[in-house]
Amino acid sequence: MAVDKRGPEKDFARSSFSQGFYVSNGHSGAAVSAESARRPIIIHYHFFKNAGTSVDAILQRNFGAGWTSREYPPRSTPNAAREFLTANPQIAALSSHTLPLPPPDIPDAEILPILFIRHPLDRLKSAYLFERNQRADTEGSRLARQHDLAGYLRARLAVPGDRSCRNFHVQRLAMAEPADNGTEWERALRAFERLPFIGSVEAFDASLAALEEMAKPWFPEFRVFQARENVSRAPSSIEDRVAQLEDELGAETFEIIAAANADDLELYRRALAAARRALVKLRTGTKRPPKKRAWPGAANPPTPIRKRRGKRTRSPR
């Protein structure tokens, strides 16, 4: 049973908007004068320790009661969220740690999946600190309290089937396709290239700017802002963090962990490069090419009819 934390794989259906969708006073609301405009829904795939709490704060600020968070049992299907979203048309944004890709197939809805990728080794240090300090009695928290960081990582790598410390991002993205559609890396890379938005934690501000641009065709009043929620360490450069991590783990353990996350490291580099390219385009005013379809059959973004309005104050970033 899904847990609501409020306050078979199918292609996306083709669709088009003839009128816009707007957000008013921080809450989602449809201004639909079209005959049957499709309902846009943002689904935030909240990867553990990937700035997801900060992203959730932005979604909640924009949508108010139209945002919610739900978790699903292990081995749930991608369509696990369909019944809830169909029964709750007021929901414009859903966040979940446990909902798997691909996005659910919901009639008359346009699903906008978003997720963030982080340097995998830096993510492991944050995960360790979080689990060591939390009061939950989970396997991860018990291992974190029993070991230093090196011992914790080695112990988790030794658990059969535990992917939390071994190419975690790649495994999650690869779930977007059936297992017999190629190697895990091939499936993950195809998902990476198809999804309409993948942010980089290490280029968070640039990613937020790209998120705002991606969301506005459906939610013209959508605004991002600076948010630092659930942060376990003081800010520093990723280069400094990785160097400190290598010193803490020792050369041998560091190499073991890096090798176990080699595919994730490549995915991280691609996400970071994409976020930086997007920022350059936004700063230079370069017109972005038409958005790639999120999944086979997904609709292109609508062109909303914008109402004339007075000069607005720039939102904080």
What is the tens place of the pLDDT at every residue in 2-32?
544 444 333 322 222 222 222 222 333 333 3
As a dihedral over the C-alpha atoms of residue 61, residue 23, residue 298, residue 69, rounded to 10 degrees, the angle is 30
Is residue 290 one of the residues assigned to a domain? no
Q: What does pTM read for this prediction?
A: 0.78
Distance between CA atoms of residues 312 and 294, nearest Å: 31
Instruction: Identify whether 55 is part of a domain.
Output: yes
What does DSSP say about strands 93-96 and 109-117: parallel, antiparallel, or unpaired? Answer: unpaired
- What are 200-259's pLDDT values in tens digits? 999 999 999 999 999 999 999 999 997 665 555 567 899 999 999 999 999 999 999 999
Contact 44, 56 (CB under 8 A): yes
Is 103 within a domain?
A: yes
What's the DSSP call for residue 192? H
Share of the chain above pLDDT 90, in %: 66
**Residue 53: what are its φ and ψ, rounded to 5°?**
-65, -35
What pLDDT was estimated at residue 50? Answer: 92
Element spanning 45, H or E = strand 39-45
The residue segments making up the domain with residue 41 are 3-284
Q: At what angle do helices 120-133 and 238-249 cross, to 10 degrees?
A: 70
Largest interatomic CA distance in the chain: 63
Residue 267 falls inside a structural domain = yes
Tell me the pLDDT tens digit for each residue of 28-66: 333 333 334 899 999 999 999 998 899 999 999 999 999
Residue 286: predicted pLDDT: 63
Query: What distance in Å separates the CA atoms of residue 166 and residue 312, rounded to the nearest whole number?
Result: 46
Q: How many domains does the chain have?
A: 1
Asked, for residue 95, whether it belongs to a domain, the answer is: yes
Output the average pLDDT for the chain.
81
Query: Would 302 be classed as within a structural domain?
Result: no
Answer yes or no: is 111 within a domain.
Answer: yes
Does 7 reside within a domain? yes
CATH of the domain at 194: 3.40.50
Please name which of 146, 125, 154 lies closest in space to residue 236, comparing C-alpha atoms.
125
Per-residue pLDDT, averaged over 147-175, amounts to 95
